[in-house]
Structure 1
């Protein structure tokens, strides 16, 4: 019985003692009361049991830790999968919204320009019809006016159809400039904006993501950076678009990703892009979007 005592002691008290060397000493205490003939055997059993059980405990602890990490990774994977599916839906909705905006602009332009022209021509022709038997000269003049108005309307239709889909870069860069000017004026801060390369390579959904990420980056800079200048640079390279928002603020030695930063990463990842943050000299957020 005495030879199995080390195992029993270990199982009973190892939960209550943090320092393992103390546990080893307690396991060795019964050696004082054992017969001299088995003391060496008891000591060897204690030593062997202590080593084996300690290693087993560490192994079990590592296994439990790995299982916990696997559970966390599994939950993260599920969350990312859900987020990716939501981003796909977000892309579809964004493209649909972009088309609706363009359609509304076109409808308004047709109503304002062409509708008024055609209405004017119709009024002139109705008047000419009524005067045809009374005053042919006046009737001919009204018809000529109606013809000119109709020609102008047809030309307006041609120009409108030609410009039905304005270059993407004009829409994207115009909105970006307008937003930066409004933001700088509202917050009284200097925001230099530089862009170069073929902006037509940037798709509508990329412009939308760039706009939302730039908005988030500027908002964070105003909250945390204590900056006086926030520069924005858009550079279209051969195979990617590089967008950088950089401030001259206090920076950050340890970058903590909040919901805003995670949202930027998720939006960028939805188009197979990447976000790089750097807090060593001021704070910068760089987006890399594949073309």
Structure 2
């Protein structure tokens, strides 16, 4: 706003200077008045305190009136804009501010009457535009400050959630380790200790009472068998199913891709996932990763879908996007690597660029 008002004052000042030069008016008092007014108004925009600005504007209005009577009648042209600035601190209604600029009209000389009205209207227009622009700018700044605060809150909340997730994961691991330790101690440890005690007793009785020693050894063997079975059952319960591990890896890959790139990502699966072996999951994960990378680099797409469909004799994995596609498919290192991996399991890769771009992996179920 201040820059617009300064430009308006400079326009009036330049007009007065050209008027005096063109009219061959050489009065030291006029030069002094112009310089004094210029210095005073520059200082108004240098100081930051509102009280100092108001005092400067009031003094500028007084000097304008004094110079109008003592130096030259054209000095009254500075009056409207200074008045607008000062009164705007106390009155919000623009029409009332504009009306106040016409109070000096009855006292103005007829030679500058029309020019004063024109300058007053022009200055009011500039002042109003600057006020509206400044008001919108302040609203935008306030909105940006609120958004910045919201972003800071969201960032802080996100960091807290991440920290909570890391702490929860760590706590879960500690609890799982504690559970396994307690299970091994309560079930397997007692069995091993009992078998060890009976074997020590059998060692002492092997020469004195052979039958009793054999009985103790047989009990130890039975206890060890039971302990080994408990170990097997415990490890089986701990180990997650293969399809669960493979599916979680694919979901993690898809979620990470969707989070990093501005692209809608759809993931679907059908059929019995239990028939997919670990080596199948490895190939599927690598091929999907390569296909998503190619989509991000070359497809210029907005949507990409990943579908795993388990059929009777083979597994179908399709990665398809809605990008520009390609009528002529050039097999680079990516597709070639996918074909080599898939061929190691007697599978096939099908690439189609007619409607978007799709890469389909077909793996036989062994």
Q: TM-score range by the shorter chain?
A: 0.5 to 0.7
* Residue 91, structure 1, aligned to residue 165, structure 2: yes
- CA-to-aligned-CA distance 1:229-263 (integer Å, 9 cap, x gap): xxxxxxxx9459xxxxxxxxxxxxxxxxxxxxxxx
Match of 2:141? 67
Rg larger for: 2
For residues 218 and 103 of structure 2, the distance between their equivalents in structure 1, rounded to whole angstroms, comes to 122
Query: Against the structure 1 CA distance between its residues 151 and 116, is the aligned structure 2 distance closer, same or farther, given a 3 Å change threshold?
Result: same
Match of 1:165? 239
* Residue 147, structure 1, aligned to residue 215, structure 2: no
Query: Against the structure 1 CA distance between its residues 121 and 110, is the aligned structure 2 distance closer, same or farther, given a 3 Å change threshold?
Result: same
What is the Cα deviation at residue 144 of structure 1?
Answer: 0.9
For residues 164 and 268 of structure 2, the distance between their equivalents in structure 1, rounded to whole angstroms, comes to 24
* Residue 3, structure 1, aligned to residue 43, structure 2: no
Match of 2:204? 130
Match of 1:43? 117
Match of 2:186? 112
Query: Against the structure 1 CA distance between its residues 199 and 15, is the aligned structure 2 distance closer, same or farther, given a 3 Å change threshold?
Result: farther
Match of 1:250? none
Segment of structure 1 superposing worse, 53-62 or 82-91 = 82-91
Query: Against the structure 1 CA distance between its residues 5 and 109, is the aligned structure 2 distance closer, same or farther, given a 3 Å change threshold?
Result: same
Match of 2:98? 24
What is the Cα deviation at residue 122 of structure 1?
Answer: 1.6
- CA-to-aligned-CA distance 1:150-204 (integer Å, 9 cap, x gap): 11111111111122235699xxxxxxxxxxxxxxxxxxxxxxxxxxxx999579x
Q: What secondary structure is seen at the aligned counterpart in 2 of 1:28?
A: coil
Report the TM-score when normalising by structure 1.
Answer: 0.53
Query: Against the structure 1 CA distance between its residues 93 and 134, is the aligned structure 2 distance closer, same or farther, given a 3 Å change threshold?
Result: same
Match of 2:177? 103
* Residue 14, structure 1, aligned to residue 88, structure 2: yes
What is the Cα deviation at residue 84 of structure 1?
Answer: 3.6
For residues 227 and 209 of structure 2, the distance between their equivalents in structure 1, rounded to whole angstroms, comes to 27
Query: Against the structure 1 CA distance between its residues 239 and 104, is the aligned structure 2 distance closer, same or farther, given a 3 Å change threshold?
Result: farther
Query: Against the structure 1 CA distance between its residues 239 and 14, is the aligned structure 2 distance closer, same or farther, given a 3 Å change threshold?
Result: farther
For residues 34 and 11 of structure 1, the distance between their equivalents in structure 2, rounded to whole angstroms, comes to 21
Q: How does 1:223-262 map to 2 (within 5 A)?
A: 238=267
For residues 238 and 66 of structure 1, the distance between their equivalents in structure 2, rounded to whole angstroms, comes to 40
Query: Against the structure 1 CA distance between its residues 128 and 160, is the aligned structure 2 distance closer, same or farther, given a 3 Å change threshold?
Result: same
What is the Cα deviation at residue 105 of structure 1?
Answer: 1.5
Report the TM-score when normalising by structure 2.
Answer: 0.43
How many residue pairs align between the two structures?
180
Higher relative contact order (CA 8 A, sep 6+): 1
Query: Against the structure 1 CA distance between its residues 168 and 109, is the aligned structure 2 distance closer, same or farther, given a 3 Å change threshold?
Result: farther
